[in-house]
Chain A
Amino acid sequence: MSSKSVFGIFEDDEHLLKAVSAVREKGYHIVDAISPFPVHGLDQAMGLKRTRISIVAFMFGITGTSLALLMMWYMNIFDWPMDIGGKPSFALYKNLPAFIPVTFESTVLCAAHGMFITFLFRCKVLPGVEPRIIDLRQSDDRMVLEVELHGKQDAAALSEILKSNGAVEVK
């Protein structure tokens, strides 16, 4: 079975949203939509699942918290406790108030960087990656809707739906 992609080009984000709903209603398979800016409601209209990137950030964050506490406990309490200015390091819970700043910074550091690196890998956005460009104006003022045809689905009928919903070009 062969599959063929049809690209609808839009100028207006509201037209794109309408077209996405219309195309999905007719049972076509939407591969992707490319826009120069985040179009609100597009992910729901396309039926995309919620991103889990904030959960990733949380996991990296608590990793950072734990690593910082472990490090400070090992260095200042367990391995080489020091008595500085009559303020000895006896136990983690006693020193905890003084350890809060580093714990906090480490949490933020790990959460932010962990999330950013995950973002880059999940989106496959990395130095040296060749962009997939369908229309050079997709990062300027054009939106691209990519629809895949399966089996007996007709390109002309799809083109008609796209055009009637405001596509300026179908290719």
Chain B
Amino acid sequence: MHHESEIRLPLILGDKDYHQITEDVCRPVEAKPSKWWWIAFIAAFSLFLYWVAVVAYTVGTGIGVWGLNKTVGWAWDITNFVWWVGIGHAGTLISAILLLFRQKWRLSINRAAEAMTIFAVICAASFIVSHMGRPWVAYWPLPLANQFGSLWVNFNSPLVWDVFAISTYFTVSLVFWYSGLIPDFAAIRDRAKTKTRKIVYTILSFGWVGTAKNWQRFEEMSLVLAGLSTPLVLSVHSVVSMDFATSVIPGWHTTIFPPYFVAGAIFSGFAMVQTLMIITRKVLQLEDYITIYHIDMMNRIILLTGSIVGVAYMTEFFIAWYSGVEYEGYAFINRAFGPYWWAYWSMMTCNVITPQLFWSSKLRTSVTATFIISIFVNIGMWFERFVIIVTSLHRDYIPSSWTMYYPTWVEIGIFLGSIGLFFTCFLLFAKFCPVIALSELKTIVKSSSSQAKENKDHHE
């Protein structure tokens, strides 16, 4: 059996046995949703309906209803796309990279974080489709035999790489998430008291029975999926960054982009996991599973990746001067001191300064402070993408075409609506799926729960 040092803090608090874990995790699925769930759901669903309306308006009328112009051809649409994709990265990092590193604290948060990944990628993809203006030709970037334009798609183009990267990322994350859910759906099925629930979860669990051979294959598959997802998650945001980096726009054309984007993605993703988890653990009463220790661990990753992002900002600025390219230099001076200075300094404050507060263990282990800082990071990372995209574009090589960009109510509506879409999905997930990977969590009861640690003290 696996033994663990007593110095390590327990990952499961309270006197929990296997049955108690099943009870605690299945309770939200089996009970009627609380008043707070309904309030949140109605709010999120209304925002989602608004999203449907503004997207329909955009598609029906054309991209002209947005604030884009000839100089600034990408703005909130791609800002939101990159923001959402980035948020998704934390889920894969938790479930894949932490699995490879054998970090047991991933177990209480991996399920919800993976769900977050999937919903975030759905939101991101919705921006790609809506910014096309003609979503009915969204299949054009696919390598299909056709009779329009150039005969085949250009595989040298990062935009085509992106199509492959995002679709692979979405479907592989879905498989990873669902394969973990199968045994947990089976647990709900075997406990089901109502007929409908029995039928629904029998279908969802694919008739799973935890035989020794099935578990052996399950564990091997999780490991291989983690091994595949690790380079995948690093590649996805690298490819997203190459949409910018392979262009010749000053401020975009930099080799630092792939690692800097990946660090930023993990940074923003963990912030969103914190935002969601702090609410989820409270509302679903899962404080014994998602402990202060889990929050502390995630805050450390926020501190690390936030510092990487901070160093990247400064490196970019230094290289813009050191390269001696005046356009590059101007792009960065313009970012910090031009008309969008407020966006740049919001980004710097939220992304570089706020995470540094986590050097204090008091703040790292404070739920309120974590929640507030996580919101700051979410805002900061949105501004990062806005700064990169809009400030690099709005003053291009010809000063006569210099202009400003202002979003219209439609773009603001699509952004707010996408948050509604995200939370609608997440709330449905929290109602109908076990938010904690209960089968996998049971494997650490004997090594990492608080009573296991206490028993060990008694023996010695």
Contacts and interface: CB of A to CB of B under 8 A. Distances in A.
B365 to A, nearest CB: 29
Interface in B188-222: 189-191, 202-203, 205-221
Interface residues of B, number: 68
A57 B228 contact: yes
B321 interface: no
A56 B212 CA distance: 19
Contact of A40 (B183, B232, B443): B443
Contacts of A37: 18, 183, 210, 215, 439-440, 442-443
B19 interface: yes
B231 interface: yes
A102 B161 contact: yes
Interface in B224-239: 224-225, 228-229, 231-232, 235, 239
A112 B225 contact: yes
Interface stretch (A1-9, A134-142, A155-163): A134-142
A141 B442 CA distance: 9
Contacts of A123: 208, 213-214, 217-218
Interface in A109-136: 109, 111-113, 115-116, 119-120, 122-133, 136
Contacts of B158: 101
Contacts, number: 210
Interface in A59-87: 61, 71-72, 75-76, 79-80, 82, 84, 87
B143 A75 contact: yes
Contacts of B187: 36, 139-140
B206 A108 contact: no
Contact of A75 (B153, B182, B183, B217): B153
A127 B22 CA distance: 23
Contacts of A34: 209-212
Given A37-B440, A125-B208, A132-B209, A112 B152 contact: no
Contacts of B63: none
Q: Indicate the member of B176, B186, B213, B439 with the most A CB atoms within 10 Å.
A: B213
A53 interface: yes
Nearest to A75: B152
B156 to A, nearest CB: 4
Contacts of A115: 221, 224-225
A132 B202 CA distance: 11
A99 interface: yes
B150 A112 contact: no
Nearest to A140: B22
A76 B217 CA distance: 39
Given A76-B156, A104-B235, A124 B151 contact: no
B216 A51 contact: yes
Contact of A131 (B156, B161, B205, B235): B205
B143 A71 contact: yes
Contacts of B186: 131, 139
A106 B150 CA distance: 23
B203 A98 contact: no
Given A102-B160, A131-B186, A42 B152 contact: no
Contacts of B182: 125
A138 B151 CA distance: 57
Interface in A1-53: 13-14, 32-40, 42-43, 46, 48, 51, 53
Nearest to B223: A54
Contact of A128 (B19, B175, B207): B207
Interface string B1-29: 11000000000000001110010000000
B203 A127 contact: yes
Given A53-B221, A71-B143, A76-B156, 5 more contacts: A39-B212, A76-B154, A105-B232, A109-B167, A137-B19
26 contacts: A14-B1, A35-B215, A36-B187, A38-B215, A38-B218, A38-B440, A40-B1, A43-B213, A51-B216, A53-B220, A57-B221, A57-B224, A75-B143, A79-B152, A101-B161, A105-B232, A112-B229, A119-B179, A123-B217, A126-B207, A127-B206, A128-B207, A131-B189, A131-B202, A139-B183, A140-B190
